[in-house]
Homo-oligomer: A and B are copies of this chain.
Amino acid sequence: MLPSETTPSPAHSGLQLYSYFRSSAAYRVRIALALKGLSYETIPIHLLKDGGQQNASHYRSINPQGLVPALQTAEGGPVLAQSLAILEYLDETYPEPALLPADAMGRARVRAIAQMVACDIHPLNNLRVLRYLVRDLGLSHEQKDAWYAHWIALGLQAVEDTLARSSDTGRFCHGDTPGLADCCLVPQYANAQRAGCPTQPYPTIERIVSNCQALPAFVQAAPQNQPDAD
């Protein structure tokens, strides 16, 4: 645990989330925590201050990858890394409301949509990658922005096609309750909007995100509502 900058929530559950308000991977976990009504302590890891607090040796000793989020569980033990693994842990440990459907085919569908975001869009556009493009490869900011928009467009189109063609899609990515795929889609959509990427080509995504954003859990988890927002 870091010694400074902790922001205790009232009557928290023993969960501590290493988070950065703008990290879309941390945002996923914050949505899940809020959907399940779990309070937690936010331990801010500022990705830009101090040369990146995620690179500090004390944080590396907690998470060798030096990425956020990471979750200290209520049962203690090692800190959990990787947002999708944390989402699954939360769903297994705090089953209500469920983030995954009851049937194996449905779970596979929801996980696949989540992974279309978490494996095939987000890793290409996160901070360390954009830095490598500019600092190590000497690309211009225009080239970097084109890269960003390219993977967003390719990825969101595939998600749109997957959602639009299936009768499993409801008010949310799978049926009429929000789940694991929505936890991933909303932060990715927010990134796209923030970067000025068009979202009109993805009407099903727009509709689902709008339904999510009407829910208090999604509002509570949003970057601008975090204790470390600056």
Which A residues contact B (CB, under 8 angstroms)? 64-67, 73, 75, 77-78, 80-82, 84-86, 88-89, 92-93, 104-105, 107-109, 111-112, 115-116, 118-120, 122-124, 129, 132, 136-137, 139, 143, 146-147, 150, 158, 161-162, 165-166
B residues less than 8 Å from A129 (CB atoms): 124
Q: Given A88-B107, A88-B108, A120-B123 in contact, is the A115-B64 Cβ separation under 8 Å?
A: no
Copies of the protein in its oligomer: 2
Quote the shortest CB–CB distance from A203 to chain B (angstroms). Answer: 15
Bound CA span A78–B67, Å: 35
Residues of B within 8 A of A73 (CB): 105
Q: Is the Cβ of B105 less than 8 Å from the Cβ of A75?
A: yes
Is the CB–CB distance between A85 and B115 below 8 Å? yes
A104 to chain B: which residues have CB within 8 Å?
89, 92-93
Q: How far is the CA of A205 from the CA of B124 in the complex (A)?
A: 25
Q: Contact check: which of B65, B93, B124 meets A158 at CB < 8 Å?
A: B65
Q: Which residues from B are CB-within-8-Å of A82?
A: 111-112, 115-116, 119
Given A82-B119, A84-B119, A107-B92, the answer on whether A64 and B112 have CB atoms closer than 8 Å is: no
Task: Give the CA-CA distance A82 to B116 in the complex, in Å.
Answer: 7
